[in-house]
Copies of this chain bind each other. A is one copy, B any other.
Amino acid sequence: MTTAMRLSWKDVRDQIHEAILTGRYMPGDRLPRDADIAEDLNCARSTVQRAMQDLSDSGLVERRRKGGTRVRPDPVTRATLDIPVTRREVEQKGSRYGYQMIRREIKTAPSRVLGVFELAEPQKMLQVEALHLSDGRPYILEDRWICLRTVPEILDVDLAHQSANEWLVLNKPYSRCDLRFYAESADDQTADLLGCGTESALLVIERTTWVEEAPITTVKAITAPGYQLLTRS
């Protein structure tokens, strides 16, 4: 033997990935069992297991007990998005962050909001409308509903100076988060607040969070024209 440095699970993963890329295994094909691959490559089964888990997480293969591992027959593009706190997002671009509360009101949540929270009975929530600024220019307009039953402390927070976005993310970690992206035309009021033309096409990010079963908040974040979401490299 010359050198034969031990294979890392990433090496194993890359070799299998490579085999799939070069067509050695096609979508739907079954791969050898972990134990056999391990023997082939002269490494431990646990190393192959970790490699396979990673490929499975990234959506490239499917694994089933007894069924073995196969290349996903219906390939999906699986992407990971990082959505930071807006302040950080702006600062990371090298811009100056600004925040402005527009409205703050306690009222019964409309059915749209109850719907996303999967709630049956109406209840009072805190609605906050606010504008995030980048270098003084409108960046994101958010319309947020906060569940007072789950987060009563929010009433003591000075939302005129600290964004609910930031306070919540630091003080109310969630256990579940649903996201939704779509495009919407600016209505008159939105266009006015974002300083863009009416009917401008805007990317909207809706985010709803829970702790266990309890609703925390739902936000409709309307981004200014030109905003783009990128997958993390």
Query: Which residues of A35-89 are within 8 A (CB) of B?
Result: 59-60, 74-85, 88
- Closest residue on chain B to residue A59 by CB atoms: B82
**How many residues on chain A are close to B (CB under 8 Å)?**
53
Given the known interface contacts A173-B20, A200-B185, the answer about A78 and B75 at a Cβ–Cβ threshold of 8 Å is no
- A175 vs B203: C-alpha distance when bound (angstroms): 28
Interface residue A228 (Cβ < 8 Å from any Cβ of B): yes
Interface residue A27 (Cβ < 8 Å from any Cβ of B): yes
- Closest residue on chain B to residue A204 by CB atoms: B183
- Closest residue on chain B to residue A184 by CB atoms: B201
Q: Which of B82, B171, B203 contacts A182 (CB 8 A)?
A: B203
Query: Which residues of A191-233 are within 8 A (CB) of B?
Result: 199-204, 207, 211, 223, 225-231, 233
- A118 vs B72: C-alpha distance when bound (angstroms): 29
- A175 vs B181: C-alpha distance when bound (angstroms): 26
Q: Which residues of B contact A17 (CB under 8 A)?
A: 175
Interface residue A180 (Cβ < 8 Å from any Cβ of B): yes
Q: By the criterion CB–CB under 8 Å, are A80 and B82 in contact? A: no
Given the known interface contacts A201-B185, A203-B182, the answer about A74 and B81 at a Cβ–Cβ threshold of 8 Å is no
Q: Which residues of B contact A203 (CB under 8 A)?
A: 181-183, 203
Q: By the criterion CB–CB under 8 Å, are A27 and B170 in contact? A: yes
Q: By the criterion CB–CB under 8 Å, are B82 and A180 in contact? A: no
- Closest residue on chain B to residue A60 by CB atoms: B173
Q: Which residues of B contact A106 (CB under 8 A)?
A: none
Q: By the criterion CB–CB under 8 Å, are B183 and A201 in contact? A: yes
Interface centre among A75, A85, A170, A211 (most CB of B within 10 A): A75
